[in-house]
Structure 1
Amino acid sequence: MFAPERVAVVGATGREGSVGRSILTNLASFDGDVVAVNPKHDSVLGRTCYDRLTDVPGRVDLAVVVVPPERVADVVADAGEAGVPNVVVVTAGFSEAGAEGAERERELADLAEQYGLTLVGPNCLGVMSTRSGLNATFGPTMARPGSVGFMSQSGAFVTAVLDWAADEGFGFSDVVSLGNKAATDETDFVERLAAVEGTNVVLAYLESVVDGRAFIETTREVTEHTPVVAVKSGRTGAGARAASSHTGALAGSEAAYEAGFAQAGVVRAESVQELFDFARALDGLPVPEHEGVAVVTNAGGPGVMATDAVGDSRLSMVTLGEDTQERLSDSLPANANVHNPVDVIGDTDVARFEGALDAVLADGGVGAAVVVAAPTTVLDYEALAESIVDCQREHGKPVVACLMGGERVDAPEETLEAAGIPNYFDPARAVDSLDALAEYAAVRERDYEAPREFDVDRERARAVLERAADYDSGQLGVEAMELLDAYGIPTPAGGVADSPDDAASIAADLGDDVVMKIVSPDITHKSDIGGVEVGVPQDEVAATYETLLDRARSHDPDATVLGVHVQERVDTEAGVETILGATRDPQFGPLLMFGLGGVFVEVFEDTTFRVAPVSEQEAGEMVDELDAAPLLRGARGRASVDEAALRECLERLGALVADFPAIAELDVNPLLARPADAGGPLALDLRVSVDAENL
């Protein structure tokens, strides 16, 4: 794909302003052979022109297709017959253009599978490689050579980036415009781009992910050796579908991407500026051994700005060692600050600046440093840049620079960036880039654990879910608690009663008083209509059964009422109410949610997400990420909950929703997290939305 010996342009033409001419012209600098294919011409721009790919003598490694959309399938079939392994379909007019175009796109995918083709597009800009001089695009700019692989779902974004990068001196190894992703997608190319020798970072602009689970598994392996940085558009709630559960309402597509990228080890950028800021740091610098940072500056204000940015990141401002502070005191003026941030004051020269930077980098507690400088008449920026390079090389720790200024920074910046040290005008950008470097260091150091397998009763769970097919709403409530039992998630004792006498019989085995809940697939929020009674004495159970049914009928005479769930009463004060849920994302599949539960779940929104199934380690991370985690661990004199059992509940629910695609949304709210001596976690309520077509 990126290093062909022979390229064919199908739809080549000499017509001014045409895409076919642009691609052929861009290939003029390609080191290999280029042939033209177009039955309307004998030659194009001095090249012999063939009628079809099957007429081209010899091997063709890459075919670039730019013909009308209705002819593309025939060309791709010809490529398959001619043994062309790689095809780039530049032509638009496919799934982005309506039902007819979508059908044409499916045909391309089928042909690619039939012939084993690597097919990029359709509706893409093309592909490019500075390693081979290949510019098989119709963009106006050839990439500068570099060590960053770049893929983009938007061709327009590629042209804009390459134009900007040419001015910025930013280079690439390979570039691919993904287009509509009919046959190859981001998962294929994250692996291919990273596999190229000399590619240090992979960048991605994404609007969607075709197969979230495959992306996570592949990218997780890639990020063990090569950082992947992605910016994702469409982050707002406008893209999320309507949801009937708490989990669905809180999830949305953004939560799935946030979780999926984290599990894959992707460093997430929130803007184009961050995408390339992070790339500069990851491309040229070593990863820090720890997250302690020192700031060295000649400017108090910008130094404070850098310190604030560290406080907003995963990084921490190091307390410098006594030896370091003594060394700084010996070399700096009396009015300088020898604590972190180190202020060498405004009259500093390069020697003083270099001595301070050397001292902090020698400190064992410093993992990385930020140099912040404002221009003065006594500070030679170019000499300072050379000193920063020398210090970074001597100590082998990452250093980012913030040499502030305009034209006077141009030459020093070239010196820094030639050594792999990025320079930023804004101190916050410098710190954010170090933060990305530290994030990738954590990604590279983590050990992946596969999800555990549990002894579960899948057939029992399937039977419960199949009941939902009998109801128009596809909803199940507490009557489906058996679903949780089948996967080993603890539930209170009880059952569904279909008469007053049956209710009394069930209650007789459950203690002095019980909890009673109306069972109806058509009534979602049962508490709102008085459909739940807590603390019902034994002698009032039968009468309460009738009362609950009357309330349900008054609320909705047409609602299906299956009876009343009678459940042992549990002391909720003995634990912390959490919520455990799941929803199904179109790209990533089952998305597990855990958070602070009860009636205020959507008020506090203290939740965290992972793509299921999850490992024990990932379940532990979900607990750690909650703001309310101290509540679970005994804050304010409370006993600590059984955290191991709580993590296991997360793992088991993750396995359940991964096993059954029919579970569209699920809430266990509350899941009462209790200490081990109080019985451990207990699922008190359940709501499930079932997609019967996926059973």
Structure 2
Amino acid sequence: MGELSELFAPERIAVVGATDREGSVGDAIMRNLLDSFAGEVVPVNPSRESVFGRTALDSVGEADADLAVVVVPPDVAVDVVREAGETGIKNVVVITAGFGETGSDGAAREQELIDVATAYDINLVGPNSLGIMSTPVGMNATFGPEDATPGRMSFMSQSGAFITAVLDWANDQGIGFKDVVSLGNEAVLDESDFIRAWGEDAETDVIIGYLEGIDDGQKFIETAREVTGETPIVLVKSGRTDAGAQAASSHTGTIAGSDEAYETGLEQAGVIRAESVQGLFDAARVLESQPLPAKDGVAIVTNAGGPGVMTTDAIGDSRLSMASFEDATLDAFSEALPPEGNIYNPVDVVGDADNERFREALDVALGDENVGSGLVLACPTAVLDYEGLAEDAAALQEKHDKPVAACLMGGKRVERAAETLSAAGIPNYFDPARAVGGLDALAEFRDISVREYEAPRTFEVDRERAREILSSVEKRADTRLGVEAMGLLDAYGIETPAGGIADAPVDALEIAERIDGDVVMKIVSPDILHKSDIGGVKIGVANEDVIDAYEDLVSRARNYQPDATIIGVQVQEAVDLDEGVETIVGMNRDPQFGPLLLFGLGGIFVETLEDTAFRVAPVSESEAEAMTREIDSAPLLRGARGRDPVDIAGVIETIERLSQLVTDFPAILELDINPLVATPDGVEAVDVRLTVDPDKL
């Protein structure tokens, strides 16, 4: 399993703070380990001669252990970890709380813990951890009340309490685990480290987890992408608030809340995000045991019309589809079913169907080339034996090597049949929507597993010019830049209309005279974000009206906000909006995932319609192209209602160039190009707004 192999397969474990005092954490860990661990358990406690009849050592340095589990007070724990490192122990689990979760003093202790672990190259779990488990060696190094049933899922959680609840429930459900990790404060090892380790572990078929946050989103995406080609990852991520957007001043920042970054980051990483704990295990169980479907078509075989309709609705809400049967299949159904049966999908074998009729119909359905997976849906009747139906479903799943989900509805009469199905790797669900959800997870992972990730394109740009423009905020009280930073886009090859910024009426006229036709004029002020709302934009200004327009724009700005900083007036070549589509390309820097790109319908409707797509930068050409397809208004770009399609390639390249810009300069906290006008002949960035952190330049 790579560098964490000894963490999950130690031969000798030292429990530092071991005791047999009932009700203590040290007592619970010792009891759990002594109950089933295949190796040797060494208690370390200088205050005791023995613990559970085993000689207690005075220090961890005497233990000669592969793994140390630390249960001493926080002010002692750091010294224990240091001594473990000095004596060559490479794996440590710190159960002790009282670190970063408790305030500044605890945070300082945690940093010291990190420094020690780094100095001695220690794989450290925690602190503030419930502990870890690994069923192949019988190791339960936790203070939880339940051991894990052996299985082929590996499970991590940022909540120790969630682990105890899950294990209690999973044991009743017959769900097993290979490894279990309570991540705690993740001072050293985090979710990405365990994903990498379990991705290399031949005994882990599915990785599952509960996360409240991800500290290093870029590392997470890179690591998960390496794993999900072979091993599925299913996570519950709690917290769907927009807290990340509270301080945002741009359109992108307003729209892109914290959950958009997680949703996007997990999708780009190839992770299946479950909406609930039930969904987590519904997906994990089927991924652990079922083959992947070659096609999205599902065949439903049922003895109940109503539940069949419910299941059809659920399929309509998923990535799956109702399979269309071949003519030979329909002929076979006609011979096998009574006249009142339905030979089309969902196949209704009628309420009086016995096991033979059900088995024959399922066999025919799974044999159809258009069917990727099957769903057995039944309600109890006097002529149907559920256990026999379960045996038939298991045999036919193996015969056709296609995934099968079961929805044998009922109570006690289902129990033995469900056990038969479970033994064959077929989950049984009471709710048809959950059965569809399981099959949908298989199709989702099939698509993930065949993804090919491209490297982002790198464009020739003028980084020094860009840096110079961004550095202009160092001389200003405000860290926001507007159209005065249009040269930043030029430096990165993003097309902008001809024009410039004038700080006097005569200068405005000089710029206008260099432009063919009427011009657009806009007030330039970092304090006035929505210029059109105050009449700060004039369109179609002829040369003879430029001076008056300049003075009027400045006057309007002064009346609106007397203390506003007025940089001048932008004079710009007019862009024909009738021939194009106003879009927005933007970025908001997420604290965990970094630059979160946005593309969508722009102009004045951006915040009203919020027709947007997101990606974490840097993005490849195919990812940028996908963003242009995902918005609801995508048909406007590709030619709807007789309009000519816009320059999609130009839009895609603009997204890529912006991706490179915000990746090159972490100082850019948020940025909007709005509108980016896309026409059949090209794209032009008409307006820009950004916020810069001068300390990161």
TM-score, normalization: structure 2? 0.98
Number of positions where the alignment pairs a residue of Structure 1 with one of Structure 2: 690
Amino acid at match of 2:17: G
Residue 461 of structure 1 is matched in structure 2 by 466
CA deviation profile, 1:606-652 (whole Å, cap 9, x unmatched): 11111001001111111121111111111111111111121111111
Shift in Å at residue 693 of structure 1? Answer: 1.3
Of 376, 395, 401 in structure 2, the residue corresponding to residue 371 of structure 1 is 376
Residue 4 of structure 1 is matched in structure 2 by 10
- The within-5 A match list for 1:306-385 is 306-385=311-390
1:471 and 1:521 in contact (8 A); partners too: no
- The within-5 A match list for 1:100-119 is 100-119=105-124
Shift in Å at residue 241 of structure 1? Answer: 3.4
Specify every segment of 5 or more residues in structure 2 that has no aligned partner in the other structure, as ranges.
1-6
Of 13, 22, 34 in structure 1, the residue corresponding to residue 19 of structure 2 is 13
2:244 and 2:590 in contact (8 A); partners too: no
Residue 3 of structure 2 is matched in structure 1 by none
Residue 41 of structure 2 is matched in structure 1 by 34
> CA–CA distance in 2 between the matches of 1:47 and 1:505?
92
2:613 and 2:627 in contact (8 A); partners too: yes
CA deviation profile, 1:286-338 (whole Å, cap 9, x unmatched): 11112111111111111111100000011111221111111101110101111
CA deviation profile, 1:20-57 (whole Å, cap 9, x unmatched): 1110111002110110111111211111111111133x
Helix, strand or coil: the match of 1:377? coil
Helix, strand or coil: the match of 1:258? helix
Task: Report whether the alignment pairs 1:690 with 2:695.
Answer: no
> CA–CA distance in 2 between the matches of 1:625 and 1:222?
26
> CA–CA distance in 1 between the matches of 2:284 and 2:120?
37
Of 540, 545, 569 in structure 2, the residue corresponding to residue 564 of structure 1 is 569
Shift in Å at residue 238 of structure 1? Answer: 4.5
1:149 and 1:194 in contact (8 A); partners too: no
Shift in Å at residue 418 of structure 1? Answer: 0.9
- The within-5 A match list for 1:370-519 is 370-519=375-524
Helix, strand or coil: the match of 1:136? strand
Relative to structure 1, the CA distance from residue 612 to residue 238 in structure 2 (aligned partners, 3 Å threshold; closer, same or farther) is closer
Shift in Å at residue 471 of structure 1? Answer: 2.5
> CA–CA distance in 2 between the matches of 1:330 and 1:635?
48
Shift in Å at residue 194 of structure 1? Answer: 2.6
> CA–CA distance in 1 between the matches of 2:241 and 2:363?
45
Amino acid at match of 1:31: A
Of 655, 664, 670 in structure 1, the residue corresponding to residue 675 of structure 2 is 670
Amino acid at match of 1:280: R
CA deviation profile, 1:457-477 (whole Å, cap 9, x unmatched): 111111111112223331111
Shift in Å at residue 193 of structure 1? Answer: 2.0
Residue 305 of structure 1 is matched in structure 2 by 310
Task: Report whether the alignment pairs 1:532 with 2:537.
Answer: yes
- The within-5 A match list for 1:90-169 is 90-169=95-174
Helix, strand or coil: the match of 1:580? strand
Of 28, 49, 74 in structure 2, the residue corresponding to residue 22 of structure 1 is 28
> CA–CA distance in 1 between the matches of 2:277 and 2:113?
32
Of 60, 67, 72 in structure 2, the residue corresponding to residue 67 of structure 1 is 72
> CA–CA distance in 2 between the matches of 1:94 and 1:155?
16
CA deviation profile, 1:186-216 (whole Å, cap 9, x unmatched): 0001111232222110001001112111110
Amino acid at match of 1:248: G
Helix, strand or coil: the match of 2:257? helix
Residue 60 of structure 2 is matched in structure 1 by 53
Shift in Å at residue 239 of structure 1? Answer: 5.8
Helix, strand or coil: the match of 2:210? strand
Helix, strand or coil: the match of 1:290? coil
> CA–CA distance in 1 between the matches of 2:416 and 2:475?
74
Amino acid at match of 1:394: K
> CA–CA distance in 2 between the matches of 1:388 and 1:158?
33
> CA–CA distance in 2 between the matches of 1:648 and 1:245?
22
2:613 and 2:630 in contact (8 A); partners too: yes
Amino acid at match of 2:690: V
> CA–CA distance in 1 between the matches of 2:226 and 2:603?
38
2:245 and 2:253 in contact (8 A); partners too: no
Residue 4 of structure 2 is matched in structure 1 by none
> CA–CA distance in 1 between the matches of 2:648 and 2:172?
54
Shift in Å at residue 242 of structure 1? Answer: 2.5
Specify every segment of 5 or more residues in structure 1 that has no aligned partner in the other structure, as ranges.
none
Aligned-residue Cα RMSD (Å) equals: 1.0
> CA–CA distance in 2 between the matches of 1:603 and 1:435?
32
CA deviation profile, 1:69-127 (whole Å, cap 9, x unmatched): 11111011011101100000001111111111111111111111111000000001000
Amino acid at match of 1:684: V
Amino acid at match of 1:372: L
1:7 and 1:61 in contact (8 A); partners too: yes
Of 204, 220, 228 in structure 1, the residue corresponding to residue 225 of structure 2 is 220
Residue 658 of structure 1 is matched in structure 2 by 663
> CA–CA distance in 2 between the matches of 1:463 and 1:323?
71
Residue 240 of structure 2 is matched in structure 1 by 235
Amino acid at match of 2:432: P
Shift in Å at residue 229 of structure 1? Answer: 0.2
Residue 635 of structure 1 is matched in structure 2 by 640
